[in-house]
Homo-oligomer: A and B are copies of this chain.
Amino acid sequence: MKSHPLFEKLRIFAPGPTPVPESVLAQMSLPPLHHRTEEFGRILDRTRKNLSWLFQTDQRAYVLACSGTGAMEATIVNLCAAGDEVVVINGGKFGERWTKLAQRYGLKVHELKFDWGEAADPAQVVAALKQNPNVRAVLMQASETSTGAYHPVEQIAKAVHETSDALVCVDAITALGVSPLPMDKWGLDVVISGSQKAFMLPPGLAFMSLSERANQARKRTSIPNFYFSLAEEDKVFDKAQTAWTPAVSLIVGLDMVLARMREAGLEAIFNHHARLAEGTRHGVTAMGLSLLAKKSPSASVTSVLLPAGMTNGDKIISHLRDRYGMTVADGQDHYKGKMFRIAHLGYYDELDMLTVLSAVELTLDKLGIPVKLGQGVGAAARYFRESENQV
The number of chain A residues with a CB under 8 A from chain B is 51
Chain A 375-391 near chain B by CB (<8 Å), digits 1 or 0: 10111011011001101
**Contact assessment for A261 and B6 in the assembled complex, using a CB-CB cutoff below 8 Å:** yes
Shortest beta-carbon distance from A177 to chain B in Å: 10
Q: Is the interface of A mostly helix, strand, loop or mixed?
A: helix
**Contact assessment for A272 and B7 in the assembled complex, using a CB-CB cutoff below 8 Å:** yes
Given contacts A6-B263, A9-B349, contact A385 B373 (CB under 8 A): yes
Copies of this chain, tallied across the complex: 2
Interface check A359, CB cutoff 8 A: yes
**Contact assessment for B378 and A365 in the assembled complex, using a CB-CB cutoff below 8 Å:** no
Contacts of A379 in B (CB 8 A): 374
**Contact assessment for A378 and B381 in the assembled complex, using a CB-CB cutoff below 8 Å:** no
Interface check A347, CB cutoff 8 A: yes
Shortest beta-carbon distance from A296 to chain B in Å: 24
Interface check A3, CB cutoff 8 A: yes
A312 to B29, CA, bound (A): 43
**Contact assessment for A358 and B377 in the assembled complex, using a CB-CB cutoff below 8 Å:** yes
Of A349, A352, A366, most buried by chain B (CB within 10 Å of CB) is A349
Contacts of A260 in B (CB 8 A): 5-6
A263 to B3, CA, bound (A): 13
Report 12 cross-chain contacts, Cβ distance below 8 Å, ordered by A residue. Answer: A4-B263, A4-B264, A4-B272, A5-B263, A10-B22, A26-B29, A350-B362, A351-B355, A354-B355, A373-B378, A373-B385, A377-B377
